[in-house]
Amino acid sequence: MELEFDFFKNWVRERLKVDLNAYKEKQLHRRIGTVMKSAGAKNLREYADMIKADENTRRVFLDYITINVTEFYRNKDIFDEFEEVIKSNLAPKFGSLKIWSAACSVGAEPYSVALIMERNQLKNNKIIATDIDDTILEKARVGAYKENEIKNIAKEELKEYFSKDGNEYRLAENIKRMVHFKKHDLLLDTYEKNFHAVICRNVTIYFKNEAKNQIYKKISSSLEKGGVFFTGATESIYNPNEFGFKKISTFLYEKV
Ligand SMILES: C[S@@+](CC[C@H](N)C(=O)[O-])C[C@H]1O[C@@H](n2cnc3c(N)ncnc32)[C@H](O)[C@@H]1O
């Protein structure tokens, strides 16, 4: 089984350009086992053949291992704190802001930032949003959300910036235009520089420590001095100074 798993990981890296070696082993084994069985494959070699032959199987596999649950203003209290940092620290300090939402899933996170900019009348900012998954990025560009993804949005904001379409809430074009989506792999690709804030939440939890530390290092060097790194609610950093960060609060770190 181990050998077969190693073969599969190498195959996925070569063919699908996803580095499974960086993901936590036990969790990954379990998830791959589940998705393989639900596809009707008896073993990983057979599953690899199915992924190779069928676009839909490939998509289901990638969606499943890259887990893309998200929502607007996820962990609202912490997002409120981030808004305060933008208003009272970053915008006065830097003027126009360049912000990166990394591993953005269907876009609820970068669009939350766009809404923050809109309601605080902060203009001329650049919001870049990236994810490893092409399918998810397509959904993000469409900007249609389910009830559970918009539950933290205030009634007034919902009324002003979303229109209801069946079971979905469609985000207004002027907000969508504020976010630029592109594909980026946090493990394999190079990182753009000169950001004033990087938001990278609920993705490093799936990675081994070594991979996670590499990501923190690269995020640190992609930030301007005085810029802010916003992590997920279970991803506080124990040794921020090792990465050139100073703790502002449990989930917000300033590049020093
Ligand atoms: C749980 S979602 C997090 C979404 C959002 N950041 C949030 O906190 O609500 C995790 C996202 O990480 C993406 N992802 C997984 N591995 C990745 C990688 N190596 N590089 C970039 N994105 C990755 C997945 O496609 C998924 O959309």
Kindly report, residue by residue over 132-191, the tens digit of the pLDDT: 998 899 999 999 999 999 999 999 999 999 999 999 999 999 999 999 999 999 999 999
Identify which of 16, 23, 131, 222 to mutate to test ligand 1's pocket (most ligand atoms within 8 A of the CB): 131
Give the distance, in angstroms, between the CA of residue 229 and the centroid of all CA atoms in the same chain. 13
Kindly report, residue by residue over 56-87, the tens digit of the pLDDT: 899 889 888 888 889 999 999 999 999 999 99
Highest mean pLDDT (candidates 19-23, 207-211, 219-223, 248-252): 219-223
Domain 76-255 grouped into CATH 3.40.50.150: yes
Return the residue whose CA atom lies nearest to atom 13 of ligand 1: 103
Instruction: Map out the domains of the chain as residue ranges.
Output: 2-65, 76-255
Kindly report, residue by residue over 161-173, the tens digit of the pLDDT: 999 999 999 999 9
Residue 141: HSE in the Cβ half-sphere, 13 Å Cα cutoff: 12
Give the distance, in angstroms, between the CA of residue 175 and the centroid of all CA atoms in the same chain. 19
- Nearest alpha-carbon partner for 123 in 177, 172, 84, 201: 177
CB-ligand 1 contact for 136 (6 Å cutoff): yes
Mean pLDDT across the stretch 23-30? 90
Contacts of 55 (CB under 8 A, 6+ apart): none
**d(Cα 250, Cα 232) in Å, to the nearest integer?**
10
**d(Cα 104, Cα 83) in Å, to the nearest integer?**
18
- Nearest alpha-carbon partner for 122 in 86, 154, 149, 93: 86
CB-ligand 1 contact for 199 (6 Å cutoff): no
Give the distance, in angstroms, between the CA of residue 149 and the centroid of all CA atoms in the same chain. 15
